[in-house]
Structure 1
Amino acid sequence: MNAMTDMHLYRHLDEMAPWNDRLQVLEVIGVTDETPDVKTFTFRSDAQTWFRYKPGQFVTLELPTADGPLMRTYTLSSSPSRPFSIAVTVKAQPGSVGTRWMFDNLRAGVRIKALGPAGDFTHHNHPAPKYLFISAGSGITPMMSMLRWLNDCAPWTDVSFVNCARRPEEIIFRKELELLGTQMPGLTLGFLIEERSSSRESWFGHMGRIDAVRLPLLSPDFKEREVFCCGPDPFMRAVRGMLEAAGFNMRFYHQESFGAPPAETLPAPADGPGMEVAVEARLPIRFADSEVDGECLAGQTVLQAARASGVRISAACEFGLCGTCRVRKISGAVDMNHNGGILDDEIAEGYILACCSKPLSALEIEA
Structure 2
Amino acid sequence: MNVPNRTLAQPISTWDGSAMLECVAVLPEAPNVVTFSFAAEDRSIFSYLPGQFITLELPVPGGPLYRTYTISSSPSRPLCLTITVKAQEGSIGTRWMLDNLTPGMRLKSTAPGGTFTSHHHRADKYLFISAGSGITPMKSMTTWFYDTGRASDIVFVNCAKRPSEIIFRETLEHMASRTDALKLKWVVEESDRYRPWAGYEGMFNQLMLGLIAPDYLEREVFCCGPEPFMQAVREALQGLGFDMEHYHQESFGAPEADQPADPSEDDVIPDEAISAQVHFAASDVTATCAETDTVLSAARGAGLNIPSGCTFGVCGTCKIRKTKGEVHMVHNGGITDDDIEAGYILACCSHPIGEVEVEV
Deviations along 1:77-106, one digit per CA (max 9) or x if unpaired, are: 111111222111011111211111000111
Matched-pair identity in %: 50
- The answer (yes or no) to whether the contact 2:58–2:64 under 8 Å persists in 1 is yes
**Structure 1 residues 261 and 9, CA gap change in structure 2 (3 angstroms):** farther
1:61 maps to 56
- The answer (yes or no) to whether the contact 1:159–1:186 under 8 Å persists in 2 is yes
- Deviating beyond 6 angstroms after TM superposition, the runs of 4 or more aligned structure 1 residues are 265-268, 277-280
1:224 maps to 218
Question: Which stretches in structure 2 are left out of the alignment for 5+ residues?
Answer: none
Q: CA offset at residue 212 of structure 1?
A: 2.0
Q: 1:8 aligns with which of 5, 13, 32?
A: 5
State the AA in 2 paired with 1:306. Answer: A
* Secondary structure in structure 1 of the residue aligned to 2:98: helix
Q: CA offset at residue 123 of structure 1?
A: 0.9
**Structure 1 residues 221 and 286, CA gap change in structure 2 (3 angstroms):** same
Answering whether residue 267 of structure 2 is matched by residue 275 of structure 1, we say yes
Answering whether residue 73 of structure 2 is matched by residue 78 of structure 1, we say yes
Which region of structure 1 is more displaced relative to structure 2, 42-51 or 56-65?
42-51
- CA distance in 2 between partners of 1:104 and 1:70 (Å): 15
Q: CA offset at residue 109 of structure 1?
A: 1.0
**Structure 1 residues 278 and 59, CA gap change in structure 2 (3 angstroms):** closer
The aligned runs of 1:182-221 (5 Å cut-off) are 182-198=177-193, 200-221=194-215
1:317 maps to 310
1:36 maps to 31
Which region of structure 1 is more displaced relative to structure 2, 277-286 or 70-79?
277-286
- The answer (yes or no) to whether the contact 2:287–2:302 under 8 Å persists in 1 is yes
- CA distance in 2 between partners of 1:211 and 1:32 (Å): 32
**Structure 1 residues 11 and 207, CA gap change in structure 2 (3 angstroms):** farther
- CA distance in 2 between partners of 1:157 and 1:365 (Å): 45
Answering whether residue 13 of structure 2 is matched by residue 17 of structure 1, we say yes
- The answer (yes or no) to whether the contact 1:267–1:339 under 8 Å persists in 2 is no
Q: 2:357 aligns with which of 346, 356, 364?
A: 364
Q: CA offset at residue 289 of structure 1?
A: 2.4
- The answer (yes or no) to whether the contact 2:276–2:290 under 8 Å persists in 1 is yes
Deviations along 1:244-273, one digit per CA (max 9) or x if unpaired, are: 1111111111111112224646667xxx75
* Secondary structure in structure 1 of the residue aligned to 2:5: helix
Q: CA offset at residue 115 of structure 1?
A: 1.4
- The answer (yes or no) to whether the contact 2:265–2:330 under 8 Å persists in 1 is no
The aligned runs of 1:1-367 (5 Å cut-off) are 7-8=4-5, 15-21=11-17, 23-198=18-193, 200-262=194-256, 264=259, 275-276=267-268, 281-367=274-360
* Secondary structure in structure 1 of the residue aligned to 2:248: strand
State the AA in 2 paired with 1:97. Answer: I
- CA distance in 2 between partners of 1:289 and 1:273 (Å): 29
- The answer (yes or no) to whether the contact 2:155–2:184 under 8 Å persists in 1 is yes
State the AA in 2 paired with 1:168. Answer: P
State the AA in 1 paired with 2:337. Answer: D
- CA distance in 2 between partners of 1:348 and 1:364 (Å): 16
Deviations along 1:192-214, one digit per CA (max 9) or x if unpaired, are: 1221213x443222222212222
State the AA in 2 paired with 1:150. Answer: F
Q: CA offset at residue 128 of structure 1?
A: 0.9
State the AA in 2 paired with 1:221. Answer: D
**Structure 1 residues 193 and 85, CA gap change in structure 2 (3 angstroms):** same
Deviations along 1:286-334, one digit per CA (max 9) or x if unpaired, are: 2222222221322221111112211111111112111111122232222
Q: CA offset at residue 33 of structure 1?
A: 0.5
* Secondary structure in structure 1 of the residue aligned to 2:22: strand
- The answer (yes or no) to whether the contact 1:156–1:185 under 8 Å persists in 2 is no
- CA distance in 1 between partners of 2:260 and 2:59 (Å): 34
- CA distance in 2 between partners of 1:87 and 1:119 (Å): 16
- CA distance in 1 between partners of 2:98 and 2:306 (Å): 26
Q: CA offset at residue 11 of structure 1?
A: 5.7
- CA distance in 2 between partners of 1:273 and 1:192 (Å): 41
* Secondary structure in structure 2 of the residue aligned to 1:131: strand
**Structure 1 residues 128 and 110, CA gap change in structure 2 (3 angstroms):** same
- CA distance in 2 between partners of 1:262 and 1:296 (Å): 27
Paired residues, what number? 358
| CA RMSD, 1 decimal | 2.3
* Secondary structure in structure 1 of the residue aligned to 2:206: coil
Which region of structure 1 is more displaced relative to structure 2, 96-105 or 339-348?
339-348
State the AA in 2 paired with 1:210. Answer: F
State the AA in 2 paired with 1:18. Answer: T
- CA distance in 2 between partners of 1:9 and 1:361 (Å): 52
Please give the TM-score of this superposition, normalised by the length of structure 1.
0.90
Q: CA offset at residue 43 of structure 1?
A: 0.8
